[in-house]
Amino acid sequence: MPDGLSAGDVVVLSGLEAVRRNPWMYIGAVSSEGAHQLLRELVHNAVDEALAGACSRIVVTLGADHCRVEDDGRGIPVELHPTEGVSACEVVLTRLHSGTKFERGTGRYSAGLHGVGLSCVNALSSWLKIEIVRDGHRHVQEFRRGEPVSPLKAVGAEAGSGTRISFWPDPEIFRGFQGFNEDESRMLLEELAFLNPGVEFVLTSQPSGSSWVYRSDAGIAGLLARLNPQARALTPEMIAVRTEADGLMFEAVLQWTTGRGPAIWSYVNCVNTRHGGTHVAAFKLGLTRAINRIMSEMGKTSGEDPTEIEEATEGLSAVVNLKLARPNFESQTKSRLTNPDVADVLEDAVSGQVLEYLRRHPQAAGIVSDRILQVRRDRLAARRAADKIYFQQVYRDVDERIYREQFGARSKNWHDSAVWITHGELLQAHADFCRQGPEATVLDVCCGSGVVGASFKGRVKKVVGLDLTPEMVDLARTRLDEVRQGNVYKMPFEADRFDLVCTREVLHLLPFPEKPVSEIRRVLKPGGQFVVGQILPFSAADAAWMYRIFKKKQPLIYNMFQEEDFRRLLTEAGFVDLEMKEMNVWESIDVWIDSYETTPLHRHEIRRLYREAPAEAKAVHPFTISPSGEIRDLWRWCVFSARKPA
């Protein structure tokens, strides 16, 4: 061995040290969310006892810095482990991949599957106390950071059975931990009460002194009603699907509502699979198949043009509950199921049973298929706006109607539709360019709600607005001195009339932008000033990526200017004395894309473009994605000032 490196130097992270070194590999996060994952692990262990039919009551007690989970299940075995030399209970608490759930005979379906849960909780707790009632005695053992403080001791005679675990999340690991969240724990237990009919779940919060008891026999139908209380149902009753096969039990309830987008809650062995997976995909596919079948039987479609999954699940509200003997998840936090083998069974069951229901309930089938046809018409109409741009030669004849429709619809929540619109510093940057005296008249072109023009007030005598959309004109009238309705390609003003013209984030929406720019030059007095703000890519490296994002957000985009293009646009129109101020403004992409003109598919694609942004773009263009998926983008705003020669 070179340099005396010996076998003893090889580091083997055995046991729980590995968990303490890389806790996120096991529980997903070391934030407060991670501490809650510990709580979920223990609750799911208790639920496993319920799934095995051995437990009827689960009690969770939240303390200020700790938590206790108690069940009346069979109790973890306390006798000496045949090979390990300590109690079976200690093995389960101190060895990864130990536990009874590897023997499939003991509990067919289980949530705490990998034999990791309990030992992980122990490893990541500064203190843990376990009490087991079994074989006529109460047994107690305590642990510090995963290490036993003493062996398991019997402390007294007691009838019955059960397990009680108290743990203190280790502040060395969970640095920001401020105690357990009452609401989150309530939601968890309430959900579990619906998923385990007849089992009682009790939550007690010592800090607030409150207590809740959850117990229900309503099953997943009750859960759906509880999760989606606001939903307005389209059909009178929920449709239920149920099937059983070797190693799996599946049930689902579903109902179409007037809502937008599908709302599907999914569970595998009582664990909420927040990111879905094969069971949800199979559910949707089976449902879509049934819809296609019933619609062609009813003569509502030709069969040539099948209903898409997105159409069939629009407004769908559902709970999907799968019990599976050998589930595979994408990670230890179990948020996404990956078993490919369940797809066919579930798809066939859903498709067959939903179809049968719809055949027996022609009225419901009629309502659902009419709704889907309506969804298709709406989607086609949304596409048409984008298609028009290419297919109706707007290059030769700009179609005002498209702009009017879109911005008319958007005027309802215009100021809430993006951060930049009312961003104070950004507006100020436009106004600060003003080199005109107090007698000046300003024109705000494509003024929208008039906020840019309004930022010049106090510096000049009069601010006039111009916009194509009647709804926007009404909005702007509350801010500006005079607002006209009209088209920027041919403005309703005589030449040489204004001292300053301003506009912001408009020219990229206009084909042949040189035309409106020369119109602006026409209405400016000689020596007058043009102030214009525009979002530009940081460089050529992020431009193609940004182009796709912006075009998907807004089909009316015609130009993705880069800085040199924009400068050329101004100088070639005859403007001189170009100045530019650059400002970075954070924008919430989730807010920005929640808009009329952005289809659900485009929203999905935009999120993906951020998640999978090319390294070239990321190197120059800052943006952030939070762990919960919110996207914030740092936009490069460039505000230009240019002058019409005197």
Partner 1 sequence: MADDSEFVKSRTFENLRAAFAEEAALAYRYLYFSVLADFEGLDRHSALFKEIAEGGEDFVQGCFDFLKLARDPDSGLAVGGTLKNMESLLQIEARQQGRTYPEMAQAARMEGFPDIASWFDTLEKAKRAHVQKLRKLSGA
In terms of Cα–Cα distance, which of 280, 261, 369 is closest to 321?
A: 280
User: Which stretches within 196-276 are classed as H helix?
Assistant: 219-227
User: CA 323, CA 318: separation in Å to the nearest integer?
Assistant: 17
In terms of Cα–Cα distance, which of 198, 228, 240 is closest to 216?
A: 198
Which candidate in 17, 33, 41, 471 is catalytic? Answer: 41
Distances from the Cα of 599 to the Cαs of 378, 415, 551, 605, in angstroms?
11, 20, 12, 10
Of 64 and 544, which CB lies nearer to partner 1 in the complex structure? 544
Of 569 and 609, which CB lies nearer to partner 1 in the complex structure? 609
What is the smallest separation between the CB atom of 309 and partner 1, expressed in angstroms? 6
Decide the pairing of beta strands 631-643 and 524-535.
Answer: antiparallel
Specify whether the CB–CB gap between 35 and 24 falls below 8 A: no
Distance of CA 40 to the CA centre of its chain: 21
- Residue 334 φ then ψ, to 5°: 60, 40
Decide the pairing of beta strands 316-324 and 263-268.
Answer: parallel
Of 400 and 481, which CB lies nearer to partner 1 in the complex structure? 400
What is the smallest separation between the CB atom of 553 and partner 1, expressed in angstroms? 12
Share of the chain residues as helix, strand and coil, in percent rounded to the nearest 5: 40, 25, 35
Of 79 and 387, which CB lies nearer to partner 1 in the complex structure? 387
Burial of 623 (0-12, 13-18, 19+ CB in 10 A): middle
User: Which stretches within 392-433 are classed as H helix?
Assistant: 400-410, 424-431
Specify whether the CB–CB gap between 53 and 47 falls below 8 A: no
Binding interface with partner 1 (CB under 8 A): 288-289, 305-306, 308-311, 380, 384, 386-388, 390-393, 541, 544-545, 547-548, 551-552, 609, 614-617
Q: Each residue of 547-558: b (16+ CB within 10 Å) or e?
A: eebbbbbbbbbb
41 catalytic per annotation: yes
Of 282 and 517, which CB lies nearer to partner 1 in the complex structure? 282
Burial of 206 (0-12, 13-18, 19+ CB in 10 A): middle
What is the smallest separation between the CB atom of 388 and partner 1, expressed in angstroms? 6
Q: How many CB atoms lie within 10 A of CB 577?
A: 11
What is the smallest separation between the CB atom of 548 and partner 1, expressed in angstroms? 5
Of 349 and 429, which CB lies nearer to partner 1 in the complex structure? 349
In terms of Cα–Cα distance, which of 264, 270, 229, 272 is closest to 249?
A: 270
Of 311 and 467, which CB lies nearer to partner 1 in the complex structure? 311
What is the smallest separation between the CB atom of 420 and partner 1, expressed in angstroms? 24
Of 205 and 339, which CB lies nearer to partner 1 in the complex structure? 339
Specify whether the CB–CB gap between 273 and 336 falls below 8 A: yes
User: CA 633, CA 609: separation in Å to the nearest integer?
Assistant: 12
What is the smallest separation between the CB atom of 283 and partner 1, expressed in angstroms? 15
What is the smallest separation between the CB atom of 262 and partner 1, expressed in angstroms? 14
What is the smallest separation between the CB atom of 308 and partner 1, expressed in angstroms? 3
Of 191 and 311, which CB lies nearer to partner 1 in the complex structure? 311
> 535-539 long-range CB contacts below 8 Å, 24 or more apart?
535/420, 535/505, 535/508, 535/635, 535/636, 535/637, 535/638, 536/561, 536/562, 536/563, 536/566, 536/636, 536/637, 536/638, 537/562, 537/621, 537/636, 538/620, 538/621, 538/636, 539/620
Query: CA 308, 310, 312 angle in degrees (round to 5)?
Result: 70
What is the smallest separation between the CB atom of 341 and partner 1, expressed in angstroms? 14
What is the smallest separation between the CB atom of 568 and partner 1, expressed in angstroms? 23
Record the tokens describing residue 24, joined without a space.
Answer: 């996120």
Of 476 and 556, which CB lies nearer to partner 1 in the complex structure? 556
**Residues carrying an active site annotation:** 41
